[in-house]
Amino acid sequence: MNKRNIMAVIFAVLTTGACSGSNYNIPILNAQDSAFKNKLPIPPVLKPVEEKNISRYTLQVQQGNYEFIKGEMVYTYGYNGPILGPTIKVKRGQKVSIEVQNLLREFTTVHWHGMLVPGDMDGGPHQVISPGKKWTASFTVNQPAATAWYHPHGLGTTARQVYMGLAGLFIVEDEISDKLNIPREYGVNDIPLIVQDKRLSEEGVPLYLTGMRDIMVGMLGNTILVNGVITPHLTVTKNKYRLRILNGSNARVYNFSFNDNSPFFIIATDGGFLEKPVKRKNIILSPGERIEIIADFSKYSDGRNVKLVSGNIDIMEFRVNGIEKETAIIPERLANINGYDPSSSKRARLFQLEGMGHMVAINGRKMNINRIDEYMNYNDTEIWTITSSTAMHGRGMMGGGMMGRMGPDVLHNFHAHGVHFLILSRNGIPPGDHEKGWKDTVLLNENEEVKVITRFLYRGIFMYHCHILEHEDNGMMGQFKVK
């Protein structure tokens, strides 16, 4: 790496975003690689050591060298490698122990996003791993089949560490997923897609917080990556494929579709299967959300290329070539969702997400690690009302001028640790079929109200926050304790 690259990396890591004059309408640079010449990499499955009925995994959080642009090696972070991390696959009922070794020169944590675990195993801001130290999370998997993920969750450091490359999938299987005749051969017809955006310099250095609007709105990049690669391609046969899509970006919201407007079937949301497949032509995912879809490439002729896009942004390309014996189907029924009766709710709570940038809060308060904001009782059912506004205390930020220019760019979403919830309504209207599954993260538009119902199945201290990571790091987070 030359001196200019080294200085760019230092700037990317240390800048505080003091430059307020940058243009926030960041152009996507993927068009320069429209040939989709990069083959889609598949994150390897992390193999455990089986010992006394416990599956023992090891994750090393490390600095690496990686090429976003060929010939330009830059610094990144990764788990067991230079960027991203291996996929952890477990089954319901499995006892796991995950030793995390911090090889960075800064503290970190590892949060199991979407996993239902006790508070002291959650990997949030209370489970800090100092440089050179280890932390072990031990728990029994007790939740339905789902696509979860893991990432850092340190106080004030989450956004940058995720941006530098720390993220990986955590897949749960159960007796239902084992019996369904759907694509489930990992890396063959069951494909993980970690979609992120980075702001890359000409040398491929991931620049972070280069303008004040990055702090206000959240970090948007100029390049889309899938599994760490720019505009990759995947060769598929004329069969059905299951795509596990994670929005692993810091702030970008995607509206996924195929460029020829072909429909697909949504089979699962954050916390597991829907009751039945939902046919759609697009799906919106905010940061932290996951979706599982089945795409059918059987109607295409050999040599046909189909793009996964978000609006006018190319995400990746599927290249249809060949036929294999088809065994998978689109089931009429997936799973039974045994929800909670609203009449059994012990309490209703309100979570008001307000502001942007440094001036963010939930219910008028910024995160304080020494304060518990909400107290819950184990096994209670509650109904939460979640609202979102970029105004603070009823007034536009910065005298309204900045608000007017930001317009629809500013969004919030809501993520809760330690629970899954069901959406009861959006602005008083029942959710669409695609939102009737278990969730842990939900997008809210400006001045929107979402009601959810949840139950507390684990004790401990947990976080709730906006998953626009720059908002979270600036204090848009609170803590609840389940007693």
Distance, CA of 224 to CA of 230 (rounded, Å): 6
Q: Which residues contact 101 (CB under 8 A, 6 or more apart)?
A: 58, 59, 60, 61, 134
409 vs 406: CA distance, rounded Å: 6
Q: Which residues of the chain carry a pLDDT beneath 50? A: 1-25, 31-32, 393-408
Backbone angles phi, psi at 229, to 5 degrees: -120, 145
Q: What is the pLDDT of residue 26?
A: 58
Name the strand (E) or helix (H) holding 28: none
Strand partners, 57: 98
Q: Within 10 A of 472 (CB to CB), how many other CB atoms are there?
A: 25
Backbone angles phi, psi at 407, to 5 degrees: 55, -135
Burial class (CB in 10 A: 0-12, 13-18, 19+), 180: middle
According to CATH, the topology of domain 38-175 is: Immunoglobulin-like (2.60.40)
**420 within 8 A of 270, measured Cβ to Cβ:** yes
Contact 476, 412 (CB under 8 A): yes
Instruction: Reduce the DSSP state of residue 433 to 3 states and report it.
Output: helix
Q: State how far Cα 47 lies from the chain centre.
A: 23
CATH code matching the domain that covers 342-482, chosen among 2.160.10.10, 3.90.700.10, 1.10.3720.10, 2.60.40.420: 2.60.40.420
Give Dmax over CA atoms of the chain in angstroms.
64
pLDDT score of 14: 36
Cα–Cα distance for residue pair 187/237, rounded to 1 Å: 13
Structure tokens at 363: 């219910």
Give the Å distances, CA to CA, from 466 to 300, 367, 473, 478: 40, 11, 9, 10
Pairing verdict, β 477-482 and 374-376: parallel
Position 339 scores a pLDDT of: 95
Phi-psi region of 459 (alpha: psi -120 to 50; beta: other; left: phi over 0): beta
Residues facing residue 241 across a β-bridge? 295
Distances (CA, A) of 15 to 12, 76, 108, 308: 6, 16, 19, 33
Q: How far apart are CA 103 and CA 441, in angstroms?
A: 30
Rounded Cα gap, residues 236 and 317, in angstroms: 10
Domain boundaries, the chain: 38-175, 342-482
| Total length of the chain | 483
Contact 137/86 with Cβ under 8 angstroms? no
Q: What is the CA radius of gyration of the chain?
A: 21
Domain pair 38-175 / 342-482, same fold:
yes
DSSP string, 278-334: EEES-EEE-TT-EEEEEEE-TTSPTT-EEEEEETTEEEEEEEE-----------S--
The predicted pLDDT at position 241 comes to 97
Output the pLDDT for position 29: 61
Structure tokens at 95: 């006892």
3-state secondary structure of 123: coil
pLDDT for the residue 34: 60
Distance CA 461, CA 18 (A): 34
The distance of Cα 256 from the centroid of its chain, to the nearest Å, equals 14
